[in-house]
A and B are shown apart, each in its own frame.
Chain A
Amino acid sequence: MSSRPWDVRLRRVTWQPVPSTWSVRRRVRILIVLGLPCAVWYFGWLLNPNRVGTPILYAILITAELFNLMQALGFWWTVANERVRERKAPSRRVTVDVFIPVYKEPPDIVDLTVAAAVGLRGADVRVHVLDDGNDDAMRDLAARYGVGYIRRPEHTGAKAGNINHALTKTDAPFIAVFDSDHVADPDFLEATLGWMDDPKIAFVQTPQYYANTEHNRIAAASWAQQALFFGAIARGKDGLDAVFCCGTNVLFRREAFESVGGFPTNSLTEDFELSIHLHEQGWSSAYVPDVLARGLGPEDTAAYVSQQQRWARGCLSGIPRALRARLPWRLKAQYLLSGLYFLSGWTVLIYMSFPVVRLLGGGQPIGHIDAPVFLLHFVPYYAVALTMAAVAGAGSYTFAAFALSAANFWIHILSTIYTVLRKKGSFVVTPKKGAEARQPGAVMPALVAVGVLVAAGVYGLVHDPDAATINNVSFAAVHVSILMTGCWAALEKPRASASESLETAEVVA
């Protein structure tokens, strides 16, 4: 047992991955029957040339709306194919190498991770700490638990290079990978190894659960985003045989790994690209939706931004790779949907710009209509889309999650620009402990957007306080509320780090 028994990662899991009532699949399919006519009703009306207001703004609006429609339809399609995979125990005794790649993380965080890995049941487990930070404290930690310690002379290729190097030093037929903060349940292998009886399966992914959500806004909102992905979306991807590896809490087949030459080292999201390689080679993947390891989510905005930047740049740069890949169309579409999600920040910027342009005396995208007619067409589509997110997320996707994502719209924009310019990025490990000071710098682009929206609103109200202005000021107020909610954690005085919390907790037996 760890030396930190009251660590938040030992708390009872508060997330129910699969709703106990009606299956999400059934609910979503009913909603799709309602949603498709609503989408046709709205877009049939919107795309009518009579709706054109200011042509350039209309074109931008249509682009944003079609992008959102594509994302919505992709989301609906994915979650409607939900597959709920049960745990499957191993049919024979095998050996598993457990990799814990570390890079300058605090040893007290890694301590429990190693302890939990040592306690894994269901296989002959050989735990290895893959230290890319040349940290002697980590060597001592490994020695204390009697586990392997691998340090390489050259630290190229970041985490991917670290794991690839470890592959050459180990030989078990299966490899489990846990990030340095992810504490595995003892039955992780008992729940996943059985699926490896199918020789086509290259890896079994499980959720990346954050345990530090109770007292930390960023971790909670970040987890709410994760919960939607590791809930309905991942189960849907499994139903379409399109689960991609997420880099931690995953069990690999060494043979599959070696067939593609290990992790690609030229990507920021090595797991995303590795999955494309594996699926191209004809390997399959699986997703067990149960929480089998608990980690720490980003505890401050800078950490969240860093993580999102890495994911955005990695996934956006993976789009050309996905386009070129020799994959069945549904797999290709799934990879593209995941990659293109990181363009959604552009739509936030577009929607924020419209009230500003209108309030400063410019045009508006849709012309010659009154609000009731617009609402008559828009509301059914919006209501179904929102209900779909609520139903698919089974209540776990929150406003805070949405706001955090919206307030960091600029990450997607910056990442797109860097990707298009082919500017090199570097792999930055997400910090595991929150900052002790406010971080307005981390949300400065959102604060600038708030300033512009407020200024435009005031200008509009002073110059022409009619109903159209009130309507646009209301839109601006909606954006300001969302942005400020997303920024709030960076602006308030930080609380004690959840990972430092020694509060009394219910301990997993």
Chain B
Amino acid sequence: MRTLPEGNSLRTALQRARRSHEAELFGPRGRLPRRGEPDTSRKTALLVLGGLIVVGLGLRLLVPRGIWLDEAISIHQARLSLHDMFSTLYNGDRQPPLHDLALWLTIRAFGDSQFAVRLPSLIAGTLVIPVLYELGRELYDRRTGLIAGAFAAVSPMLIWYSQEVRMYEFEAFFGLLALLTQLRVLRNASMGNWAAYILATAGVLWSHYFGLLLIGVQQIIFVGVLLHRRRNNQPVRTLALGFAYSAAVLVMQLVPLLVFAVHQYHSTSAAAGSPSGTYQYLSFYSVLANMAWSLWGYQPNATTVLLAAMWPLFLLLSLVLMGRGASRQTKTLAAAALALVALLIGVSAFDRSLFEVRNFLILVPLVLLLVARLVSGWIRSPRARLLVAGGIALTLLVGLADEQLNNDNPRLYGFRAAIQAIKAQAGPHSLVLLEPADMRYVLQYYAPELRSQPLSRTVTAQYEGSPVFVLASFQSNRQFFNETNKVVGQLTFFRTLVRRFKTPQTLVWEFQ
């Protein structure tokens, strides 16, 4: 019998060494079995990452759309004194206060221009790119991190919420950071890593209540790793102590947060069914639509219906995945994402309007990372890999363009254009009737000088002979539609309709 060449013995020994590391759940980085292809060099990776951040920031700065209702409410709250802002949040909102606090500080520092108020989201949204790269690098390799970072740079949904004065991008950023720091803790349970993890989880927890779902999944991962290590007679003491400490800090935060949340829920439950709610029921269609949106952004309903009609392709994907095998990292990541979806569906069963992609924005980068891993792990040829990754990025860019520019996008509200048109025509005695009443916050932002009142309130004699404008939106809501219809009908009867125009999701009537 021939003996094996020495190189082979060495290779076998190296493979064994790798396997021994892999036995440790989330062992040291860079131990994934490879095909002998070298990873992207550190220098190249940093250069490319820098380019991606610039591209990502540039795309996030191309903001063609104006402020919409929820943003205007946040801006209104942040303009109040700190005490009044917390009081308003406590009594009339449904979110934790971290983003509002950041916005409050930003307005004090930079004013309330559209760019300034969107700055916190812009920063968080841009930072998602390097954090996702780092998570990809820690879990797999630099190549996967770069592909994921590229997807994040052009992701329509991540860009959309980087341009919105709301807390969703904070949730995605801190959520990713929480996952990254957890991974580092699992590999090296140092004080610094634990501190970073605790801060990151605090960030996600105080940004969005659904952050608690992510933290819940993370606790399950901790318990799983501890049990796994114990079963393999590996040391668990340091990790267990850190885990206990972080859990104690978490509970300490949860007490005030839950008090805050419960009060908010009771205060606002009467007004449940936000006008922005997309679906009155949770269905496979809403799941498919949200999945399509999470990748290609908000699309017109007709496009969403067509995208959802492609569901048989999921059958193909499920078959393709059969027998592929996956690293422990991928399995855990996919399981965490699925667990999050399951928890969200569970939560949405209580309030079905909650099942919206913005409420689980953290899933978007996770899905992008899984897609990046599919590309880097399955495709062997570098050219084909680049082609496929480029093709995916291109579809995301097409989705981005459609999302931002197509006026049929159901989330695109033309309040700014409508109010500017009203402003151009309105005199000092003009009145703007608003439906829904919360539109006053948008008017307050763009035209604080205009007098306004809710559509439901009777127009007093004081405005006899003065121009009256009706500014209505959210007309897919039956209650708002009926109210608008009734009042516009009455005004048409008693006054002269000068003109009627519309901007995306917004209707304006001008009466004399």
Which residues of chain A have a CB within 8 Å of any CB of chain B? 1, 5-6, 224, 370-372, 375-376, 379, 382-383, 386, 389-390, 393, 395-399, 401-402, 467-468, 470-471, 474-475, 477-478, 481-482, 504, 506-507
Contacts and interface: CB of A to CB of B under 8 A. Distances in A.
Contacts of B322: 386, 389-390, 397-399, 402
Nearest to B302: A467
Nearest to A374: B284
B434 interface: no
Contact of A371 (B4, B311, B315, B320): B311
Contact of A398 (B2, B312, B324): B324
A470 B284 contact: no
A223 B4 CA distance: 27
B309 interface: yes
Contact of B309 (A389, A467, A506, A507): A467
B16 to A, nearest CB: 13
A478 B311 CA distance: 10
Contacts of A504: 4-5, 8
Given A382-B318, A507-B4, 20 more contacts: A371-B284, A371-B309, A382-B315, A386-B319, A390-B322, A390-B323, A395-B325, A398-B322, A399-B324, A468-B309, A470-B309, A471-B310, A471-B311, A475-B312, A477-B313, A478-B312, A478-B313, A478-B315, A507-B1, A507-B2
A471 B310 CA distance: 5
B325 A467 contact: no
Interface in B303-351: 305-306, 308-313, 315-316, 318-325
Contacts of B1: 1, 5, 507
Contacts of B312: 471, 474-475, 477-478
B2 to A, nearest CB: 6
30 contacts: A1-B1, A5-B1, A5-B2, A224-B323, A371-B284, A371-B285, A371-B308, A371-B309, A371-B311, A375-B284, A375-B311, A376-B283, A390-B322, A390-B323, A393-B323, A395-B325, A396-B323, A399-B319, A399-B320, A402-B322, A467-B306, A470-B306, A470-B310, A471-B309, A471-B312, A474-B313, A478-B312, A478-B316, A481-B316, A504-B5
> What interface size band does chain B fall in?
20 to 34
Contacts of B310: 470-471, 474
Contact of B316 (A6, A383, A398, A482): A482
Contacts of A375: 284, 311
Q: Which 7 A-B pairs have the closest CB atoms?
A: A398-B323, A372-B284, A375-B284, A471-B309, A474-B312, A467-B309, A470-B309
B4 to A, nearest CB: 7
A255 B106 CA distance: 92
Identify which of B5, B316, B321 gathers the most chain A CB atoms within 10 Å of its CB.
B316
Contacts of B315: 382, 478
A399 B378 CA distance: 14
Contacts of B284: 371-372, 375-376, 379
Interface string B1-37: 1101100100010000000000000000000000000
Nearest to A227: B323
Nearest to B313: A474
A477 B320 CA distance: 14
Nearest to B281: A372
Among B1, B284, B321: residue with most chain A CB under 10 A: B284
Interface in B126-143: none
A460 B301 CA distance: 21
Nearest to B326: A395
Contacts of A370: 285
A390 B323 CA distance: 7
B19 to A, nearest CB: 13
B309 A399 contact: no
A422 B322 CA distance: 38
B355 to A, nearest CB: 13
B309 A482 contact: no
A283 B12 CA distance: 46
A247 B315 CA distance: 36
A482 B4 contact: no
A470 B310 CA distance: 6
A38 to B, nearest CB: 15
Contacts of B8: 504, 506
A474 B311 contact: yes
B309 A474 contact: yes
Nearest to A478: B316
Contacts of B285: 370-372
B4 A399 contact: no
Contacts of B321: 399
B227 to A, nearest CB: 14
B283 A372 contact: yes
Contacts of B313: 474, 477-478
Contacts of A376: 283-284
Contacts of A5: 1-2
Interface in B169-211: none
Contacts of B2: 5-6, 507
Nearest to A386: B318
Contacts of A506: 4, 8, 12
Contact of A397 (B4, B308, B311, B323): B323
A474 B310 CA distance: 5
Nearest to B12: A506
Contact of A395 (B5, B319, B323): B323
Contacts of A371: 284-285, 308-309, 311
A474 B317 CA distance: 12
Contacts of B320: 399
A371 B283 CA distance: 10
Contact of B319 (A402, A468, A507): A402
A239 B306 CA distance: 49
B393 to A, nearest CB: 22
Among B5, B12, B310, B325, max chain A CB count under 10 A is at B310
A379 B313 CA distance: 13
B13 to A, nearest CB: 13
A372 B284 CA distance: 5
Nearest to A398: B323
A374 to B, nearest CB: 8
B352 to A, nearest CB: 14
Contacts of A390: 322-323
Contacts of B324: 398-399
